[in-house]
Structure 1
Amino acid sequence: MGHDSFPFVVTSGDFNSDNQIDLVIANYGTNNIGILLGTNKGIFVNQTLFSTGLNSHPYSIAVGHLNDDTHLDIAIANHGNKNIGILLGHGNGTFMNQTTYSLGDASPYAIGIGDFNKDKRMDFVVTTNSTNNIAVLFGYGNGSFANPILYSTGSSSSIFVGIGDLNKDDRLDIVVINNDTSSIDILLGYGKFSFKNQKTYSTGSYPISLATGDFNNDSRWDIVVANTNDNTISVLLGYGNGSFADQTKYSTGSYPRSVAIGDLNNDTRWDIVVANLNDNTISVLLGYGNGSFADQIKYSTGSYPTSVVVSDLNNDTLLDIVVVNSKDNTVSVIIGYGNGTFADQKQYVTGAYPQCIAVGDFNNDNRLDFAVSNSYDNTVSVLLGYGNGSYADQKKYVVGGYPQPIAVGDFNNDTQLDIIVANALDNTVSVLLGYGNSSFARQRKFSTGVRPSSIAVGDFNNDTRLDIVAVSVYGRNVSVLLGYGNGSFEKQTKYSTGTNPLYVVVGDFNNDTLLDIVVANNFDGNISVLLNYDTGALAHRITFAFDNGSLLQSVAVFDFNNDSLLDIVFANYGTNTIGIILGSSNGTFGNQTMFSTGWNSRPYSIAIGDFDKDDQMDIAVANRGTKTIDLFLGNGKGAFNIQENYGNGFNSTPLAIAAGDLNNDGYLEIVIAYDGTDEIDVLVAHDTKSFRKQKTYATGSRPSSVATGDFNNDTLLDIVVVDMYDDDVSILLGYGNASFAHQSIYSTGSGSIFVAVGDFNNDRVLDIIVANTMNNTVSILLGYGNGSFLHQTTYSTGNRPTSVAVGDFNNDSLLDFVVANFYDNTVGIFLGYVNGSFGSQTTYSTPPSPRSVAVDDFNNDKILDIVVANVYNNTVSVLLGYGNGSFAEQTTYSTGYHPEFVVVGDFNKDKLLDIVVANWQSNTVSVLLGYGNSSFAKQLTSSTGASPSSIGVADFNNDGQLDIAVTNSGDNTVTVLFGYGNGSFANPIAYVTDAFPNSVAVGDFNNDSRSDLVVSNLWSGTVVLLLGYRNYDFEKQTTLITGNESRPRSFAFGDFNNDSQIDIVVANSDTNTVCIFLGHGNYSFTDRISLLTESTPISVATGDFNQDSILDIVVANYETEKNFAAANEPSPYPSNTPILLAP
């Protein structure tokens, strides 16, 4: 590598047309660029140097097609010589001598290429160190460029430029980074439209009026002109490229003054109507559809017809004609029959000397009205239509001096029609904004050229806002006034025409989607065609300055609120926040919304992805200060919820993170590199499911058990609680929003200790069963389905019943129940009858002190079995059912000390039922995995809080694996243990409740499709509602060793061995290597494969550089003037070749 070349930037392209990627490098120190041609082995040959000039110091480069010859060209920002250099390529790896474009006193930094004015020719934008810090040079398409157009954003050190369509208007915009003001600027591209010099076409003598339409059905615009002195009209057929054929003339009446078109005989061909001033007639010429017309047919009008319009005035779908008669101050309405013939006129009075007419629905009654300009009394008359071809008397509005041409349109985007009129003596146009009820606001005036004689309306700059074009008779020009969309207009821009221009129409005559202009030049006997074109411009500069001390470290771009507009997220290292600014449809951005990452967190690196698989983008942030990763879950509307961090803290400081799906499961993982370590970690996002204490509800005295159900058939969950000291149950009916009605109370037996629910009388309404431990009974309360219940019916049990479970033990489709009789060491079976009553109990022996009972099918014979927790025997008993209400003798399994509660579920996802027991004195839960044949494995234990007393089961984090919630009476908590799906559980997460929680039930109380908890608290006489919400966190899955003292700095993902599994490549700065870990698709990877690079590799990327469909690697080396590329070949180890950047 040569001395002092100081390569600043490298980019790629195919410069010799061999379909191989080549490289171009800007060598700041040696004032040249180097071209390295790529081979099909991923190797680059020695570079060829091209001088950029003495002391030029090339700072950045861009590549593109600058002269449309299919060969790539190069644009260079020469910082030292303050110019832009262009090297046009020959397509063989060589280039023409540099052509330069001066930037004056500005030194360029960054350069970008794009088509900013949509002329299909490449332009470029440059950032500089000048007060005019942005320059745009428009290309001519032949490799040459116009002089720079300069813009200022207030910065004098704009070091980076990015190009893209930020506001979805199909125009390129620019983003600039300013390092002197700690800000970014956004400059939106817009269409700055102009009109080319006129091209003229001969007409008859003294043309005065125009209309446009497709007269020969070739989908191209044609023109018809009224010629006053030779009593003809001229038809000019268009070629669709902005040019027209020679005229064809047709005779009219005397002094044709105005022309209009429409399909007057319903044959789908355009016809023509002409107002003839001197003989007080109109001429109708029916079209043949081939560009030719029949001879005229005349109809009488009033005196001096000066303007004619065609429309359906009586809502019969047939076109009619309305004519302004200036000498007798009337308008004539001539109703059409739809066959090219017309009824006699009917006249309506206007103001003095009416000149022109426009038609529209001014009062939103779906009936056409018309507005007439009155030159002698300086007014506009509005005549409202009745929808049958007749009209109300006029209402006048004052305008400017000698109003003549008139037009209608919605100029303030309120969906109501407005009126504009050109005032010949004022040299203005008046705008009357309509209210939609046939009334109008007072006029607003805007200047035009001298003596405006005609106006037209159209959107000339494609911004969806109506603009105005006015013809100036004495100025020999047309004035274009661009609309702001609020009823006001920019100052006029003038374009030259012929002599004495009298009339103007608009249309797209060259099919480029831009409206063009045609003007009738009365004295010249011709028309002028002015074609619209887009010159492109930048405007609406937006600057985002960050808080002092924000120390911006990382920026990422994505559409976070699903509006198809890009938004921006920042990591603010100094203020311990991330900031979001949301993009708007006009290219602006909202105020920054900041989300805290915690005190002294120092957010440093950002990764974006959908980590919770809800199709909304989330943000992961690596914090150097707290050595953690924070996860912000997006809601798809631009807002984010930070997730609780349950200790994903690291021993080392995170340096960089990236997101990718490493095991093809559709979920993104995080890869993290640390500062000063020799390893990278793979972290998996998972839902830890958190709970919030929502509300506490008072119950009776000593609530001892809680259950849930829909007791009033409103599809919303309700709660039932048994109150031990009050001998009753409390019913709390739910509203579906986590709130409940005041409790209703129903009496039970003495010492009510446990509650369960079921439909005991098959009326599809839930009933309640309660175990009463002090009087040795169970109470049955049959429900009415409206939240109320019958008085209890009691059944005798054994001594001290403590628990009850419900099921159909004899397969008669009627619910039965089983009771644990604590002092009798038995369980009692009660078989149900169809009316909701039960027979006497049948008992089965258990070990001492059965405390809790549950039912399910443990041996897969489709018959319910029973499991019992025996407190003083430290066992569970399993009694297999015969399906007739009787049971086999028990089999016992050891548990922890003092098993207090038992539940059933499939905790290892083998589709076989397992048992979980809460062990009061051991402060554990025991898991007994079932074999599906009524036998169980030895217990596995997991820690809980103090004195676990009750268990609830559900998939709390929606990962498809059962979790458990345990009430801990000894420390007033509920602990949640998330299942791993193999029978083991994560460490418990504790939530504080009230005093002595002793029962828990699970349900969705706020209809968010997530499980919530309700807990009864014995000593405080309350139930506490804990609402579940998703909470994603990261846990370490795999650690990959990158080598002793390797110091990984950067990584990239790719499939390097074509096995459809994602692999990882890491750049190790201190060992001058990259290492590759080949993935197995299950978070495991092969041992590293190491490749030597040059000194201090700090960045790595991947791509197919030799077009062999195999990924290759490119590495940036910090402390040498070489980069490194490795071409991946189908062999055990890739070859590698250092690339010399400059001699």
Structure 2
Amino acid sequence: MTEDNRVNNHITVENARAVSDPHVENERHENATQKQSDPSTVFAPINKKINKSKITATSLDKTCWSKHGTSIAAGAFVVFTIIAIIIGVLTISFTSPNPTVQKCELKLKETPQHPIDYKYGPRSVAVGDFNNDSWPDMVIANRVVNSIAIYIGQNGTSFSTPIQYSTGNGSTPYMVTVGDFNNNHILDIAEANFGTNSIGIFLGIGNGSFEKRVELSMGSSRPIAISLSDMNNDTILDIITANYGTQSISILFGYGNGNFSSPTSYSTGYDSFPSAVATGDFNNDNYLDLSISNYGTDSAQILFGNKNGTFKNGLTLLTSVGSRPNSIAVGHFNQDVYQDIAVANSGSNEIGIFLNNGNGTFAKQVAYSTNSSSPYSIGVGDFNQDNLLDIIVSNNGTKNIAFFLGCGNGTFVLPRMYSTGAFSSISFAICDVNKDRRLDIMVVSNDTGAIDILLGSFEGFENQMTFSTGSYPQSVAVGFENQMTFSTGSVPKSVAVGDFNNDTQLDIVVANSHDKNVSVLLGYRNGSFQNQMTFSTGFGPQSVAVGDFNNDTRLDIVVDNFYSNNVSILLQ
């Protein structure tokens, strides 16, 4: 491809911019919620002059929308005109909703049940493809019988008979997660053992089975939650735990061969009882920070990361007295470049939103009621495909789940509740179970041990499927292999994929808002990509799409430019 310093060819089309002990004893804890290509491919110059033509802006319905009615009448006589005006006024008055009230459509349908026999006291569930057949599989942590169980997914709706692996006598596994710990592109398993103060590692073989457990000591920490991220920027997954026994969080740095360092711990404060941990870059220094929900002190805590993988004290974000935050999630809720925080407050029956100010601080909590529901788990995702993050909460007290649809400015509409039947939902996982490119939800019961699968559809969620798991499951998580990071331009806003050099391998194009260009990364056959090549656009490119616009069998690129009020078309 031709880079900026050689050729810049695009068509511009103008357009108007229109805690306490019972927290553990009652088993109610929530655990926190990834052949050389032809480098000569170019976007060729266009010699023919293209006349610019105005395009009339057309308003589009969004997921969060306000509906307005209008009436227009005309007549040859004054009397008919007066009658038409009166009718029009009455029509508007009685049919138009209040323009300040936003309506967000999301539906759930009644569902049949597909039970899986499960009787071993599940505490946590994680999802990943353990046998590389592209269908999601499940691993369940069994706190009663001290084991994990592997269920191999068969078609997105059914699972095989479980295979059990011991986690050790008295281990009481509280949470399980998945990731690639030895960089062989095969998913492995890590589980937090509350009873034996340890982490268990099961390395995957790739056929749905696992090697014998390797145990990592955690002292007297009583790990209650576990998470995975690359905390020291070495492209290797590290383990983060929230520790009930020592009121701390710990980090075990990965070596890339399935082994980990001894834990490095940071205090979360006296009587904090940390319940969950999530990662994000909250001060935009390109180093991951930690966000922690402290059940005991009614707060969320931020620890800022340093370049070498160490952490320093950051912020304490107050929820409310007696709020008892059980879980924490991170996302962009107001479409800026700063990561925001959401917490589920089980004691005050609400979710709390902390918007990032962009300078390492956060605005005060904005709370949204969940209606006396005792929310436990919280997660984020775009459930209605409007490119805006939504929030989902499992409500332990009212036997349902709540959806807060995002409006893109940091606010959310009032929740829509969906029943989980006769059981209380305590946690869930978000994943595409049936490979239809829409997010589905796996909801865990802490009453019956059932797992409900709600399949996403264009009208909300299709038939739920229920899988029995036994008593008191506490959380669900979705895992992915170790992330690979590739540099783009400044403030990437949108991404699209396509085969730009016709080598049958998918490539990536990214719109870089601050750099006024797009980055193209040609794909290799191993899931990695070449370094970016950049091509100029207009000012503030926001969204990017691909298509063959001149019927030459080669993909072209189109970008909308927010600040220059036009679109750019880059032809190959």
**TM-score normalised by structure 1 residue count:** 0.31
**Residue-pair matches, total:** 374
| CA shift digits 1:571-605 (9 cap, x unpaired) | xxxxxxxxxxxxxx9xxxxxxxxxxxxxxxxxxxx
The amino acid of 2:449's aligned partner reads: G
Selected match of 1:511 from 431, 435, 448: 435
Q: Give the equivalent residue in structure 2 for 1:432.
A: 354
CA distance in 2, matches of 1:501, 1:205: 18
In structure 2, relative to structure 1, the CA distance for the partners of 1:196 and 1:345 (3 Å cut) is same
The amino acid of 1:271's aligned partner reads: D
In structure 2, relative to structure 1, the CA distance for the partners of 1:442 and 1:348 (3 Å cut) is same
Q: Give the equivalent residue in structure 1 for 2:412.
A: 489
Selected match of 1:325 from 237, 243, 247: 243
Q: Is the 8 A contact 1:324 1:332 kept in 2?
A: yes
| CA shift digits 1:414-471 (9 cap, x unpaired) | 1210111111111111111112332111001112251111111111100111111111
Q: Offset at 1:297?
A: 1.2
Q: Aligned with 1:486: secondary structure?
A: coil
Q: Give the equivalent residue in structure 2 for 1:251.
A: 166
Q: Give the equivalent residue in structure 2 for 1:1082.
A: none
Q: Offset at 1:156?
A: 10
Selected match of 1:224 from 128, 139, 152: 139
Q: Give the equivalent residue in structure 1 for 2:332.
A: 410
In structure 2, relative to structure 1, the CA distance for the partners of 1:307 and 1:334 (3 Å cut) is same
CA distance in 1, matches of 2:444, 2:212: 24
Q: Offset at 1:534?
A: 2.5
Selected match of 2:223 from 291, 294, 305: 305
Selected match of 2:128 from 209, 213, 224: 213
| CA shift digits 1:705-735 (9 cap, x unpaired) | xxxxxxxxxxxxxxxxxxxxxxxxxxxxxxx
Q: Give the equivalent residue in structure 2 for 1:294.
A: 211
Q: Is the 8 A contact 1:306 1:323 kept in 2?
A: yes
The amino acid of 1:194's aligned partner reads: K
Q: Give the equivalent residue in structure 1 for 2:370.
A: 448
Tell me if 1:471 matches 2:385: no
Identity of aligned residues (%): 39
| CA shift digits 1:902-932 (9 cap, x unpaired) | xxxxxxxxxxxxxxxxxxxxxxxxxxxxxxx
The amino acid of 1:505's aligned partner reads: A
CA distance in 2, matches of 1:501, 1:457: 17
Q: Offset at 1:230?
A: 2.0
CA distance in 1, matches of 2:229, 2:146: 25
CA distance in 1, matches of 2:327, 2:164: 26
CA distance in 2, matches of 1:157, 1:521: 57
Q: Offset at 1:523?
A: 2.8
Selected match of 1:153 from 39, 46, 69: 69
Selected match of 1:281 from 198, 212, 230: 198
Q: Offset at 1:237?
A: 2.8
The amino acid of 1:472's aligned partner reads: N
**TM-score normalised by structure 2 residue count:** 0.60
Q: Offset at 1:306?
A: 1.0
The amino acid of 1:438's aligned partner reads: G
CA RMSD of aligned residues (A): 3.4
CA distance in 2, matches of 1:296, 1:343: 17
Tell me if 1:377 matches 2:377: no
Tell me if 1:423 matches 2:338: no
Q: Give the equivalent residue in structure 2 for 1:925.
A: none
In structure 2, relative to structure 1, the CA distance for the partners of 1:412 and 1:310 (3 Å cut) is same
In structure 2, relative to structure 1, the CA distance for the partners of 1:207 and 1:197 (3 Å cut) is farther
Q: Offset at 1:157?
A: 9.1
Q: Aligned with 2:279: secondary structure?
A: strand
Q: Offset at 1:282?
A: 1.0
Q: Offset at 1:204?
A: 4.6
Alignment of 1:633-652 (within 5 A): none
| CA shift digits 1:496-553 (9 cap, x unpaired) | 22534322111111222221110121231221111122338xxxxxxxxxxxxxxxxx
The amino acid of 2:251's aligned partner reads: V
Q: Is the 8 A contact 1:281 1:305 kept in 2?
A: yes
In structure 2, relative to structure 1, the CA distance for the partners of 1:153 and 1:228 (3 Å cut) is same
Q: Offset at 1:319?
A: 0.9
| CA shift digits 1:106-125 (9 cap, x unpaired) | xxxxxxxxxx9xxxxxxxxx
Q: Offset at 1:191?
A: 8.1
CA distance in 2, matches of 1:637, 1:486: 24
Selected match of 1:391 from 311, 315, 325: 311
The amino acid of 2:313's aligned partner reads: D
Tell me if 1:192 matches 2:105: yes
Q: Give the equivalent residue in structure 2 for 1:688.
A: none
Selected match of 1:529 from 453, 465, 481: 453
CA distance in 1, matches of 2:159, 2:369: 32
Selected match of 2:188 from 247, 262, 271: 271
Q: Offset at 1:180?
A: 6.6
CA distance in 2, matches of 1:391, 1:492: 36
Q: Is the 8 A contact 1:321 1:334 kept in 2?
A: yes
For the pair shown, the structure with the greater C-alpha radius of gyration is 1
Q: Offset at 1:227?
A: 2.4
Q: Give the equivalent residue in structure 1 for 2:514.
A: none
Alignment of 1:541-940 (within 5 A): none
| CA shift digits 1:288-343 (9 cap, x unpaired) | 22222222211122522111111111111111101010221111110111011111
CA distance in 1, matches of 2:359, 2:244: 28
Q: Is the 8 A contact 1:356 1:405 kept in 2?
A: yes
Q: Is the 8 A contact 1:201 1:528 kept in 2?
A: no
Q: Offset at 1:244?
A: 3.6
CA distance in 2, matches of 1:241, 1:284: 26
Q: Aligned with 1:393: secondary structure?
A: strand
Selected match of 2:232 from 307, 314, 334: 314
In structure 2, relative to structure 1, the CA distance for the partners of 1:357 and 1:152 (3 Å cut) is closer
Q: Is the 8 A contact 1:191 1:462 kept in 2?
A: no
CA distance in 2, matches of 1:153, 1:483: 24
The amino acid of 1:413's aligned partner reads: Q
The amino acid of 1:429's aligned partner reads: I
Q: Aligned with 2:305: secondary structure?
A: coil
CA distance in 1, matches of 2:233, 2:566: 46
Q: Give the equivalent residue in structure 2 for 1:350.
A: 268
Q: Give the equivalent residue in structure 2 for 1:869.
A: none
Selected match of 1:362 from 279, 282, 290: 282
Tell me if 1:340 matches 2:258: yes
In structure 2, relative to structure 1, the CA distance for the partners of 1:335 and 1:407 (3 Å cut) is same
| CA shift digits 1:64-123 (9 cap, x unpaired) | xxxxxxxxxxxxxxxxxxxxxxxxxxxxxxxxxxxxxxxxxxxxxxxxxxxx9xxxxxxx
In structure 2, relative to structure 1, the CA distance for the partners of 1:152 and 1:397 (3 Å cut) is closer
Q: Give the equivalent residue in structure 2 for 1:1017.
A: none
Alignment of 1:14-53 (within 5 A): none
Q: Is the 8 A contact 1:482 1:490 kept in 2?
A: yes
Q: Offset at 1:408?
A: 0.4
- Larger relative contact order, structure 1 or 2 (CA cutoff 8 Å, min sep 6): 2
The amino acid of 1:526's aligned partner reads: A
Q: Is the 8 A contact 1:274 1:282 kept in 2?
A: yes
CA distance in 2, matches of 1:477, 1:368: 33
CA distance in 1, matches of 2:446, 2:197: 22
Q: Is the 8 A contact 1:208 1:503 kept in 2?
A: no
Q: Give the equivalent residue in structure 1 for 2:465.
A: none
The amino acid of 1:508's aligned partner reads: D
CA distance in 1, matches of 2:275, 2:566: 55
Q: Is the 8 A contact 2:136 2:156 kept in 1?
A: no
CA distance in 2, matches of 1:447, 1:180: 40
The amino acid of 1:208's aligned partner reads: R
Q: Offset at 1:283?
A: 0.9
Q: Offset at 1:211?
A: 2.2
